[in-house]
Amino acid sequence: MSDCLFCKIRDGEIQGDIVFEDDDVLAFNDVNPHAPVHVLIIPKKHISTVNDMSAEDVSVMGKLFSTAKNIALQRDVSEDGYRLVVNSNKQAGQSVFHIHMHLLGGNKLGPMVDRID
C-alpha cells in the first residue's frame, strides 16, 4: 500500500472532493483553499516531483494543462484569469510529494512569489 496521500485519494482510500477524472488524470478541490477556486490536478501515475519526470511522462503533464483549461472554463475563471502553480521540492513549498498542479482563481491574486533575494 502506498504512503502517498494523493495516491490514496486516487485509490479511494481517502475521500477526495473529485471534480474530474479520466484514465491518466485526477482533479479534486484543495482541502485548504487559498482562493475561491483552488483545484489540484495530478497525474494518476505516482511521480514525486518534476525532477522525477521521465520522457514517458511528458504527455500526461500536457494533460494537466488541458484539464486545468477545462476546469477553469467550467468554474468560470477563464476570462478573468487564473494561476497554475507546480511546487517542486521543499524550498518551493512542496508538501505532498506526488506532482500536482494548483489551479487558483476567482479573485485577484497577489504577487506570484515573495521577493527572492
Q: Which of 4, 21, 24, 30 binds ligand AMP (CB under 6 A)?
A: 30
Helix (H, G, I), strand (E, B) or coil at 36: coil
Report which of 24, 114, 99, 41 is spatially closest to residue 75, judged by C-alpha positions: 41
Give whichever of 62 and 93 is closer to ligand AMP, judged by the CB atom: 93
CA distances from residue 111 to 83, 107, 115, 116 in whole angstroms, order as listed: 11, 13, 9, 12
The CA R_g of the chain, rounded to the nearest whole Å, is 14
Please name which of 22, 18, 10, 34 lies closest in space to residue 93, comparing C-alpha atoms: 34
Per CB under 6 A, does 51 bind ligand AMP? no
The distance of closest approach from Cβ of residue 92 to ligand AMP in the complex, given in angstroms and rounded to an integer, is 8
45 vs 56 by CB, closer to ligand AMP: 45
**Is residue 31 a contact point for ligand AMP (CB under 6 A)?**
yes
Among 49, 70, 78, 87, which residue interacts with ligand AMP (rule: CB under 6 A)? 87
Q: CB of residue 27 vs ligand AMP: minimum separation in angstroms?
A: 11
Beta bridge partners of 21: 26
Whether 98 is catalytic is no
Q: Enumerate the active-site residues.
A: 100
Using CB under 6 A, list all residues that contact ligand AMP. 5, 14, 16, 28, 30-32, 40, 87, 93-96
